[in-house]
Amino acid sequence: MAGFSLEQHGIHVNNVLRNLGSARLYEEAIRREANTSISDTGALIAYSGAKTGRSPKDKRVVKNPDSEKNIWWGSVNVPLDQHSFEINRERAKDYLNTLDRVYCVDAFAGWDPERRIKVRVICARPYHALFIYTMLIRPTEEELASFGEPEYVIYNAGQFPANRLTEGMTSETSIDLCFESGEMVILGTEYAGEMKKGVFTIMNYLMPKRGVLSMHCSATADLKTARSSVLFGLSGTGKTTLSADPNRALIGDDEHCWTDTGIFNIEGGCYAKAIDLTPESEPEIFQALRFGSVLENVIFDDEDRHVDFSDTSVTQNTRGAYPIEYIRNAKIPCVAGHPTDVIFLTCDAFGVIPPVSRLSPEQAMYHFISGYTAKVAGTEVGITEPEATFSPCFGGPFLAWHPGKYAELLAEKMKQHNANVWLVNTGWSGGAYGEGKRMKLAFTRAIVDAIHAGKLADAPITPDPVFGFGVVGDCPGVPREILSPRNTWADKDAFDKTARKLAGLFIDNFKTYEGGVSDAVKAAGPSR
């Protein structure tokens, strides 16, 4: 939209290109960005430069009296003073004002009309504009005409570094949020995922204030009843892959909210890991990476532009972003009824968590607050192989409030709507990482299918002697011998030792949170 002004935001560039469609952004990217290309399936191929994953250690939140008591301060939300934020914001604006054109994307976060927020992204790269245009909810022409002023503005000046001498800076990268002014500033990183997760962090702050649970999860719905299922998990645990289910309606692959009427997706697109992607392994995602989609940091053949998804010479964190409607069974608008099942996905690098277990309400709260998984190679800067970690609420890097706030809301929702809760291991079996093998996707799909069909609700369970949860002993499509992880290890003593080691890590980690939970929840954890 030529002639659109951003003067109210301190951007004095005459050529503001607002909400360009995919074709125009393709043209802009090809003409103005080095190394940008188009794949043989029609996706835009772009590169994020030195940063090919998020930089969580460089995230900052402005410490303000109006929100200070609400924020979970610490390594996730590192405080930044107002003056330093204003310096970084001015630095971003100064950079954007040196350009002959900037891109503006106005869109919504949240499919619920009563709870969605208006977001404006101002950026320098067409690739970034197409990415966020894809990942947020695209307004109709009528909605765009009446959009007005946004509630949050993101200044993406990622090509320009932060000043290391600015108080509170520890590198040339800084991702800063100010809840009071409704602004976010990105400096020193061109990884597009910072915008996506910045919006999620904003929703993680706003929604609990309204009694709404924001969740790092994928979601699907039954095709007949519209009752839903949610799958929690960090990047790499299978949220996107398992939500691309041809037998269910897709609500979304990563970020949702649970209200008093049901669930809604925060986003208008999906962001899938592309490593080793094939049409046989993940047909829904493979076919979605066509015109209007973005492929990040992939390697392709110079002659025919065919992408080699097995080539990780740029990064293991190759990604594809595509509009959610590119999934054939996506439910538009992306809303559904209350979940019948809540599934916690964990990528267990120790190889001792069963493929599927049923959790009591107290165990559900314990494991939700614990958020055990493994960081998968490439998802964050510096991670080159799976690393055991605990991430509260299966989304610690994106929380704004203390984890207990989200746990209380989840407990309330699960109890009110009688949801079953499951722990599903998509990680290792037959040994720890380096010895065992990653759980077959076909087995995990069979487990999730059985959960959705209600076939595990009355399945026989055996209490795990260390962790206490109910290990499911029979599941259609899954060999019985792998349902008990101890059976898959050749060295049973090594298994027992490893299980006790992981239990100890759970116990030590939970000490941080046990002051805010009941005795029943504390007792629901493992024993050494």
* 49-58, 90-99, 426-435: least confident range: 426-435
Active site residue 216: yes
Active site residue 235: yes
Domain 339-522: CATH class, spelled out:
alpha beta
* Nearest alpha carbon to residue 521 among 347, 368, 413: 368
Given 235, 340, 357, 379, the catalytic residue: 235
What is the pLDDT at residue 2? Answer: 56
Active site residue 438: no
Query: CATH code for 7-32+55-190?
Result: 3.40.449.10
What are the Cα distances from residue 183, in Å, to 38, 78, 188, 355, 395?
Answer: 33, 16, 17, 42, 22
What is the pLDDT at residue 233? Answer: 86
Could you report the per-residue pLDDT of 344-395, keeping only the tens digit for each? 999 998 999 999 999 999 999 999 999 998 765 555 666 655 667 899 999 9
What the block records as the tokens of 186 is: 């990105």
What is the pLDDT at residue 516? Answer: 73
* Nearest alpha carbon to residue 59 among 194, 255, 254, 202: 194
What pairs with residue 373 in β-bridges? 389
Rounded percentage of the chain residues whose pLDDT exceeds 70: 97
Assigned architecture for domain 271-326: Beta Complex (2.170)
Given 176, 254, 341, 348, the catalytic residue: 254
The ranges assigned to domains in the chain are 7-32+55-190, 271-326, 339-522
Active site residue 500: no
* Nearest alpha carbon to residue 451 among 459, 463, 461: 459
Could you report the per-residue pLDDT of 304-322, keeping only the tens digit for each? 999 999 999 999 999 999 9
Active site residue 181: no
pLDDT band at 523 (very low <50, low <70, confident <90, very high): very high
Given 51, 54, 59, 60, the catalytic residue: 54
* Nearest alpha carbon to residue 351 among 463, 525, 490, 523: 490
Give mean pLDDT, residues 484-505: 95
Give mean pLDDT, residues 24-36: 97
pLDDT at 113 over 90: yes
Rounded percentage of the chain residues whose pLDDT exceeds 90: 88
What is the pLDDT at residue 413? Answer: 96
Other beta carbons less than 10 A from residue 466's beta carbon: 17
Q: Cα(206)–Cα(260) distance, rounded to whole angstroms?
A: 16
Active site residue 319: yes
Given 63, 138, 216, 413, the catalytic residue: 216
Other beta carbons less than 10 A from residue 151's beta carbon: 15
What is the pLDDT at residue 384? Answer: 58
Given the DSSP bridges, would you call strands 372-375 and 117-123 parallel, antiparallel or unpaired?
Answer: unpaired
Given 37, 214, 237, 240, the catalytic residue: 240
Could you report the per-residue pLDDT of 223-247, keeping only the tens digit for each? 988 899 999 987 778 888 899 888 9
* 80-94, 176-190, 218-232, 373-387: least confident range: 373-387
What the block records as the tokens of 459 is: 């399945």
- Coil, strand, or helix at residue 187? strand
Give mean pLDDT, residues 90-109: 98
**Mean confidence (pLDDT) of the chain:** 94
Could you report the per-residue pLDDT of 449-482, keeping only the tens digit for each? 999 999 999 999 999 999 999 999 999 999 999 9
Give mean pLDDT, residues 9-22: 98
Q: Can you give the pTM of this predicted structure? A: 0.93
What is the pLDDT at residue 377? Answer: 56
Under DSSP, the state recorded for 69 is T
Given 319, 331, 338, 413, the catalytic residue: 319
- Coil, strand, or helix at residue 247? coil
CB 55 within 8 A of CB 173: yes
Q: Cα(246)–Cα(24) distance, rounded to whole angstroms?
A: 32
Residue 14: what residue type?
N
Active site residue 66: no
Given 59, 128, 239, 452, the catalytic residue: 239
